[in-house]
């Protein structure tokens, strides 16, 4: 199984589970797609690269509020 296969299965499964929760648990629906089309992979070559990736992962959710792909850009953050 390739990394692409794993990512495809992960995105498919999580989209199905989220869609089920939209119907059954009244989760907020998503527009268009839950996931972006592709993914980014990167070889971690040293401790500096690892730290940059960790920082990106930690800070990325904070940038979602201003992301152009966020349909609720600029809206208050839901604390649920």
pLDDT tens by residue, 33-74 = 888 888 777 789 999 999 999 999 899 888 888 888 777 777
- Residue 22 and residue 29 in contact, taking contact as beta carbons nearer than 8 Å: yes
Per-residue buried b or exposed e for 52-64, using 16+ beta carbons within 10 Å of the residue's own CB: eeeeeeeeeeeee
Confidence of residue 17 (pLDDT cuts 50, 70, 90): very high
Q: What is the pLDDT of residue 77?
A: 62
Pick the closest to residue 34 from 22, 26, 47, 49 (CA basis). 22
Confidence of residue 79 (pLDDT cuts 50, 70, 90): low
Q: What CA–CA distances, in Å, run from 19 to 2, 11, 23, 27, 28?
A: 26, 12, 7, 9, 10
């Amino acid at each position: 199984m390739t990394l692409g296969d794993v990512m495809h299965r992960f995105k498919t499964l999580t989209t199905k589970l989220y869609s089920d929760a939209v119907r059954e648990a009244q989760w907020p629906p998503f527009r268009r797609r839950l996931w972006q089309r592709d993914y980014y992979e990167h070889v971690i070559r040293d401790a500096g690269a690892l730290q940059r990736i960790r920082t990106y992962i930690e800070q990325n959710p904070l940038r979602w509020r201003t992301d152009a792909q966020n349909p609720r850009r600029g809206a208050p953050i839901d604390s649920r």
